[in-house]
Amino acid sequence: RAQLTSAVLGQEIHYFCEVDSTNNEAKKLAANGCPEGTIVVAETQVTGRGRLARSWFSPFGKGIWLSVVLRPPFGPMDAAKCTLMAAVGVNRAINAVTGVGCGIKWPNDILWNNRKVVGILTEMSAELDVINYVVIGMGINVSIEHFPSELAPIAASLSVATGRSISRVKLLAAILDELENVYVLVKKSGFAPVLAAWRKESITLGRQVDVRGFDRSFSGVAIDIDADGALLVKTPQGVERVLAGDVSISPV
């Protein structure tokens, strides 16, 4: 705590050596009324999760496995944009602390050299049109040198990207600072400025993409995100709007 400079995020810290998933712990704490800004960090996760019941590789001491509890004053429709907001904050912190050039892939990945260094999983609890809490889970690969074979071609860590060791405490402090900055900005001015920042840091826009949605698949050029954070993809049939799904970027 002494090394953190954020005002609200990280005021309450729950640190675990081992946990099932920091998002699960954060959701329990949030449901029990923990204050906004409470964070959960762990050295390793036994069942770290991605979206759609995928697993997240979280080796001991080699990453920042982090969840942040927010109690935002906006409605459930805006929760998906929290992922984009978090991506902007984390990307800024990474680029500031490590100097490595990372970019954001819609909606929830930060990539270096086409390899994933960060995944973000936002989960929410809401009643009618009021958000009870949002948990933003972030997995940041800091010093993983060896990935399991299925991840080796698609994943990377920051120490490998930069060729030097990275202080997890420094990076965590920067992430909480930057996340707090973007969150304060959203509360003050709405999502438009943060979505504008997202566009600048995106590596998806302007690229040929393959979209695998829940019920459809197609290809086209990613041209923009709209005010809801949905990806707009231009296809020969017209512009398709993708609110959730997986996108792969075709090699140039």
Residues that bind ligand BT5 (CB under 6 A): 21-23, 45, 48-52, 54, 56-57, 65-67, 108-109, 116, 119-121, 137-139, 141, 151, 155
Closer CB to ligand BT5, residue 114 or residue 189?
114
Token pair for 129:
């049109």
What minimum distance in Å lies between the beta carbon of 108 and ligand BT5?
5
Our CB check for ligand BT5 shows the closer of 158 and 205 to be 158
Rounded least distance, CB 128 to ligand BT5, Å: 27
The smaller minimum CB distance to ligand BT5, of residues 47 and 189, is found at 47
User: For the packed helices 192-201 and 168-189, what is the interaxial angle rounded to 10 degrees?
Assistant: 140
Q: CB under 8 Å to 226, separation ≥6 — which residues?
A: 232, 241
Amino acid symbol at 110: I
Beta bridge partners of 212: 217, 246
**Residue with Cβ nearer ligand BT5 (193 or 210):** 210
Among 49, 56, 61, 51, which Cα is nearest to 23's?
A: 49
The least distance separating ligand BT5 from the CB of residue 91, rounded to whole angstroms, comes to 14
Give the residue nearest to ligand BT5 (CB): 119
Q: How far is the CB of 114 from ligand BT5 (least distance, A)?
A: 12
Task: Please check whether residue 198 is in contact with residue 185, taking contact to mean a CB–CB distance below 8 angstroms.
Answer: no
Beta bridge partners of 233: 222, 240
In whole angstroms, how close is the CB of 189 to ligand BT5 at the nearest point?
A: 27
Measured from the CB atom, the residue of 48 and 72 that comes closer to ligand BT5 is 48
Q: Measured between alpha carbons, how far is 31 from 16 in angstroms, rounded to an integer? A: 19
